[in-house]
Amino acid sequence: MSKTPRTTASAPRWRALLALLAGLALGVTSTPALAADEIRLLKAHSAVSTRYGQVWQDVTYTLLVKNLAYEKFVYVYQKEPDGSWVNLQGSYVGPASAGHEVWKVTRQYAGWTQPPEASRDLEFVPRLVVGGTFYWDNNWGANYHLGRNDGPMLHNTNVLVDGSFWRENGDLDVNIDVQNLAYSKSVTVVYTTDGWATSHEAPASYVSGYTYAYSYITSPNVKNVERWQAHVPAVAGTALQYYVRYQVNGQTYWDSNFGYNYAHTRPTP
């Protein structure tokens, strides 16, 4: 998929056709190259939900992509239950530091469709196509693997915000995934409401398990990822920015939203 700039009209139809042709040509007309930092997996997530007799699987891949050219095509090459492989097209999310971009691939496999879509354990390889060369992150030849209800898997990062939500009273809860590198650790949200003239800290607490849609994910899970949650109390001001500090084994890791910090506007009561 080619990225469409936010300041211009949507790309003409011929670009959509070009994206389709590029996907069909993968591995045929392109020159292969093992990725160094051209494309890297940051996170994969899979969960199977059951509700009222219906079953569905939610899958998300988060990728860090080097901005080698404006025109680029980002995919996850995924193995299907019948053994075939398909290209799942990615979508541009936003900029990242050091000339990179964040892309995502999301899919839902629903049992109520015709024909029903089966849930599946995941085997996959992220791919980037730029200027006739395709780069792939194949986990050093082993491909990536994630069970259908394993929850999150982190790669090339030790801490990553999963999401946040406002409470009715104006408080903000931040969900954080960390690689379980040791039993003793500290996870903290550092935030400001005045453009970093002042800052405050909200310590995160370990969560032993949590729901995702209508599935249950243990913490740590089989990929040794723990869920932590920080509670930011209601404060004056409307613009909230924050980043996450993860301290373990004498090391400090950061999730600053790739150098841009996370930003939220407090909802009007």
Q: Is the pLDDT of residue 184 over 60?
A: yes
Q: Give dist(CA 95, CA 102) in Å, integer.
A: 6
**What's the pTM?**
0.86
Q: Give dist(CA 255, CA 164) in Å, integer.
A: 14
The per-residue pLDDT for 235 is 72
Q: Is the pLDDT of residue 13 over 70?
A: no
The per-residue pLDDT for 170 is 79
29 pLDDT tier (thresholds 50, 70, 90): very low
* CA-closest candidate to residue 241, choices 266, 213, 263, 268: 263
pLDDT in tens, 208-246: 999 999 999 999 999 999 999 999 987 766 689 999 999
The per-residue pLDDT for 30 is 54
Q: Is the pLDDT of residue 115 over 80?
A: yes
Segment 237-266 mean pLDDT: 92
Segment 13-31 mean pLDDT: 46
Torsion angle defined by CA atoms of residues 143, 19, 80 and 222, in that order, rounded to the nearest 10 degrees:
40
In the chain the domains, ranked by start, together with CATH numbers, are 13-154 (2.60.40.2440), 159-265 (2.60.40.2440)
Report the half-sphere exposure of 121 (CA within 13 A, side-chain side).
Answer: 6
171 pLDDT tier (thresholds 50, 70, 90): confident
The per-residue pLDDT for 127 is 97
Q: In this structure, are residues 193 and 237 in contact, taking their beta carbons and an 8 Å threshold?
A: yes
264 pLDDT tier (thresholds 50, 70, 90): confident
